[in-house]
Structure 1
Amino acid sequence: MSVEREKMIQLCNDWSKNTLMETLQIEFVDAGDDFLIATMPVNSRVHQPMGLLHGGASVALAESVGSAASLMFINPEKQEVRGIEISANHVKSKKEGMVKATAKILHKGASIHLWEIRIVDEHEKLVSLCKLTNMVLPRR
């Protein structure tokens, strides 16, 4: 990992200020050599009209944690990351509480990173399973 754990978590939370991540109250909470974890409260900010967690909010959480996770494998002064494809399967609904997204690297290439992001509830029950492909570009 190019950036130590605590520094990585702080960097991700700092970069989230004044963004969609702050609006959705996404907080980065843990990191390791090949994973990054973020949480998001389930409340009216992320509900769809039926009072359930909106699939788009889950996808925003997945892309946020997966894109930030790619920062662990690049030099942010010379490179940047762009999400180029995301897919999601929503398997369980949620009305309130907290969800946790864990991004784990599946493929770490020089120009492509492939992530699996599992979103679970407080009981570790799967809510959504996502796959994210990031492209690594030279910093402009």
Structure 2
Amino acid sequence: MTYAIPGEELPEWLSELVSPLDDKLGVKVHEISPDRCVVSAPLHGNTQPTGLWHGGASGVLVETAGSLAAMAHGRQGGRWAVGTELSVSHLRAPHGETMTATAVAVHLGRHTTTHEVQILDDEGRLCAVGRVTCQIVTRNRSAA
């Protein structure tokens, strides 16, 4: 399981955070910082029976991009991030091969973070928007 894209380097700490669900969806991380996180997933294999992009996959991209950015923020103080709120609005069916989600920080606090996320298709069209809020907590080592 890996978020890595061949030829691109990611922070070493990220390797322990790969979610089995993200792995199944083929999520890759392109950029990560507390202020901004960019992730992508292939359209193929993440569709409804009708062949359209699955709304749940949008939810995963929003949650992953925002939560990883929150984790980058929390780990600066030796802490962890857990999602507490997620919303996604679907705007249009995507075209192309890949969906790309970009999370941008709205709030980076001591106890919570909020990131707004835009999901674009290969044509650069806005297909979904979302928001994720995370709580910054002390890491429970036994849960890792």
Q: TM-score normalized by structure 1?
A: 0.85
Partner amino acid, structure 2, of 1:60: V
Residue number in structure 1 paired with 2:26: 25
Residue number in structure 1 paired with 2:112: 112
Residue number in structure 2 paired with 1:54: 54
Q: Is the 8 A contact 1:93 1:127 kept in 2?
A: yes
Alpha-carbon distance in 2 for matches of 1:33, 1:77: 12
Alpha-carbon distance in 1 for matches of 2:88, 2:111: 23
Taking a change above 3 Å as real, the CA distance of residues 11 and 127 of structure 1, as seen in their structure-2 partners, is farther
Tell me the SS of whatever aligns to 2:75: coil
Cα shift at 1:14: 5.4
Alpha-carbon distance in 2 for matches of 1:107, 1:22: 28
The alignment's C-alpha RMSD in Å is 2.2
Q: How many residues align?
A: 133
Residue number in structure 2 paired with 1:133: 133
Alignment of 1:60-71 (within 5 A): 60-71=60-71
Cα shift at 1:32: 4.8
Partner amino acid, structure 1, of 2:84: I
Q: Is the 8 A contact 2:34 2:105 kept in 1?
A: no
Taking a change above 3 Å as real, the CA distance of residues 65 and 12 of structure 1, as seen in their structure-2 partners, is farther
Deviations 1:13-57 (A, max 9, x none): 55326x1111000000123561010110001x2111211001001
Partner amino acid, structure 2, of 1:107: H
Structure 1 spans left out of the alignment, 5+ residues: 1-5
Cα shift at 1:94: 2.4
Alpha-carbon distance in 2 for matches of 1:129, 1:135: 21
Q: TM-score normalized by structure 2?
A: 0.82
Alpha-carbon distance in 1 for matches of 2:119, 2:97: 13
Residue number in structure 1 paired with 2:40: 39
Alpha-carbon distance in 1 for matches of 2:89, 2:120: 12
Q: Is the 8 A contact 1:25 1:40 kept in 2?
A: yes
Alpha-carbon distance in 1 for matches of 2:108, 2:73: 8
Q: Is the 8 A contact 1:13 1:27 kept in 2?
A: no
Alignment of 1:75-86 (within 5 A): 75=75, 78-86=78-86
Q: Which contiguous aligned blocks of 4+ residues in structure 1 show a shift greater than 3 angstroms?
A: 10-14
